[in-house]
Amino acid sequence: MGDNGLKILSLNVKGLNTPQKRRLLLRELKRSACHIAMIQETHFASSRQFSLRDRAFPVAYMASSPQKKKGVATLIHSSCPFKIHLQVSDPAGRYLMLVGQIASTTLTLFNIYAPNGYDPDFWTEISSLLTTKADGRVIFGGDFNAVPQPSLDRKASGDSSGTPSGYPQDASLESFMLDHSLVDAWRLHHPGDRDFTFFSNPHHSYSRIDLFLVSLSTMPLIPTSSIGDITWSDHAPIFMTLSIPSYTPAWSWRLNSSLLHKPEHILELQQQLRDYFLENYSPTLSPTTLWLAHKTVIRGHLIQLGSRLKKQKLASLVSLTKDLSKWETLNKLSPSDVLTARIKTIRTAIRQLLGEDAARSLAWSKRTYFE
């Protein structure tokens, strides 16, 4: 991603009512280096909303239903100067519309969790918002529970040709896209390709129901779009980069206190401190200077230690993700129970690795959850 690239993520998380899952999400967003995250199925009740904010994502906009179901949230990274002019939140938790500005670019972001079935009233409501409230470049992201091209975007077990006829909700989505001149960003970057964002265990079928739809005028500003792997959620994250001028991310160092939880790390740090003061002490050197300088040295050591541990963990995660991608590809081509079982085993290992990371992060996090 270039300096002027705004990375947008969309992910259906299937519920965020535990601190562990909320932390998993925030760690996932950090790893992805996204600037705007569109989240579906938060399952927050409108009467009891949880916090989805932290230092990296201090701003979160939500739309929740009265019950613990549905729900969408859009998170904005601290380095993203998105100034909101208008917010429209669906009281049923199906959509969230944000109109705002980044530098000189006006954007309308629609975060969508569409009904799982034929519901023309939903698309009529979205059409009304789009024609009366939207401004500038329009971006839809979310779980549409429908696909633009059934023959390419759906695949049942043992089916190599897709589902040409599709479902009624597929036809509704197609009509909505045609009526408002919206295009499927991933499909334009990957014409003819077959990839999927959701696997239905009961039906043993794949589908690409998680989408970014953009206005025709926006498409030239989108250099990349991609589909991630299904890991801790039952949906894959999808990504899109939007070229925005004058965008500059920010960064600052913060101590990772989990480095101090293992005895071997503490011993290593103590030895570094002893070596520093023995090697640098001098009667002519001001004690204040000696003390202030040691902070830089120790910070450098902690950065190196954190980097080393991160690389080790990343190597394990990359290896597991490669295996997952390989078996997922084979299963998409020719689904089988053996491949599905193997995929589940790898996903369990990935979730355990990510879960350990989330648990450590949650332990030292200063963010307050409403339990």
Residues belonging to the binding site for Mg(2+) are 12, 41, 143, 145, 234-235
| From 54, 143, 184, 357, the catalytic residue | 143
Which tokens sit at 229?
């792997």
The verdict on whether 61 is a catalytic residue reads: no
Structure tokens that stand for 290 in this block: 């000696």
Q: What's the residue count for the chain? A: 371
Helices 120-132 and 168-179 cross at an angle (nearest 10°) of 10
Buried b (16+ CB within 10 A) or exposed e, 340-350: bebbeebbebb
Active-site annotation holder among 113, 170, 184, 206: 113
Q: Which of 184, 235, 247, 357 is catalytic?
A: 235
Cα-based distances in Å from 123 to 51, 116, 134, 138, 185: 29, 13, 15, 16, 20
Active site residue 235: yes
Would you name the residues annotated as active-site residues? Answer: 113, 143, 235
